[in-house]
Homo-oligomer: A and B are copies of this chain.
Amino acid sequence: MPTSADATDTEGLLGAARSGDRAALARLLSLVERGGTSAREIGRRTHPLGGDAYTVGITGAPGAGKSTLTGGLIGALRATGDRVAVLAIDPTSPFSGGAILGDRVRMQEHALDDGVFIRSMATRGHLGGLALATPEAVRLLDAAGYPWILLETVGVGQVEIEVAGAADTTVVVVTPGWGDGVQAAKAGLLEVADVFVINKADRPGVAETERDLESMLEMTVRPDDGWCPPIVRATATAGEGITELLTAITDHRRWLTAGGGLERRRSARAADELRSILVERLHDRVRRAERGGALDGARAAVLERRTDPWTATDELLRRLEDGDD
């Protein structure tokens, strides 16, 4: 298999993916993960085709039952007739695909359902990291016709919270045993959560966790004022609370759409993405200068005082620009 697809490949794969060819979609996602010119080409082609998908981020500490909850949510969405795509985001894993999904028993219920596409995603060499790879993957799934895209993170690292928090609706999963509201505050979860789920609600301590969350939320200044995140109790393994979770998500979606909040969020996200692409491309130039030996030449000239660092970087910048792809 070639490591990059040329324009014709991409066009053919995209046409196939849009006609329901899941292998073509999976191949395109691998190219997006890898970054570079193929990912950019896919982005250019998918961007005009999308805009209809709604994204839901699902984050929370490991062991909170996020995959089981996601599995339940898939079922509830499928019951409405909608197709669903899931991206399981794992910034730590160097590999994507099979391994992680092996554990996802609840999700495997949907493995034979043509209306469900599940894929775990790492970044494999995408220099912009998940912050750039995720919106590209979402754009692709959107273009492939999935009206719901669930972004489930493996843990609650900074990157994962950013990725999940960049969804249209962000669901934060906690458990009675997980700790108090202070921990949620420290992790920055109170600011990004649109819906809280206290999962494993059959365990003791649910009421305390709910009270903790409520009192911490009262003290939190949230970016989208006017929405108070509902707290949903669930026992995902027993299928309890899933309907309530979907209701909370659709309530939030309706509120966002009616008040102009969805447009504002997407506009802010577009600016973030542009800024990230710009910074990434500029850094790429510095890396190219290093690889190409241009920096070594400049360093020698500076050390021998044939030039000064500012004149040398002027010259480097000019050369980088001429060589830009």
Contacts and interface: CB of A to CB of B under 8 A. Distances in A.
A275 interface: yes
Nearest to A41: B310
A146 B44 CA distance: 57
A121 to B, nearest CB: 19
Contacts of A296: 271
Interface in A300-325: 302-303, 305, 308-313, 316-317, 321, 324
Interface stretch (A97-105, A170-178, A253-261, A277-285): A277-285
B295 A274 contact: yes
Given A303-B267, A303-B270, A309 B275 contact: no
B295 A275 contact: yes
A contact face: mostly helix, strand, loop, or mixed: helix
A281 B47 contact: no
A119 interface: no
Nearest to A308: B47
Nearest to A312: B274
A9 B267 CA distance: 46
A289 interface: yes
A96 B289 CA distance: 36
A299 interface: yes
A190 interface: no
Contact of A308 (B43, B271, B278, B311): B43
A273 interface: yes
Residue of A282, A295, A312, A316 most packed against chain B (CB within 10 A): A282
A185 interface: no
A211 interface: no
A12 interface: no
Contact of A313 (B274, B283, B310, B313): B274
A317 B317 CA distance: 12
B313 A324 contact: no
Contacts of A43: 308-310
Contacts of A179: none
A126 B274 CA distance: 25
A26 interface: no
Contacts of A44: 308, 310-311
Given A267-B299, A299-B267, A278 B311 contact: no
A298 B274 CA distance: 8
A299 to B, nearest CB: 5
Interface string A124-148: 0000000000000000000000000
A309 B267 CA distance: 12
6 contacts: A43-B310, A51-B305, A266-B303, A270-B299, A282-B282, A282-B286
Given A274-B316, A282-B283, 16 more contacts: A43-B308, A44-B310, A44-B311, A47-B302, A48-B308, A51-B305, A267-B299, A267-B303, A270-B299, A271-B299, A274-B299, A274-B309, A275-B290, A277-B310, A278-B313, A278-B316
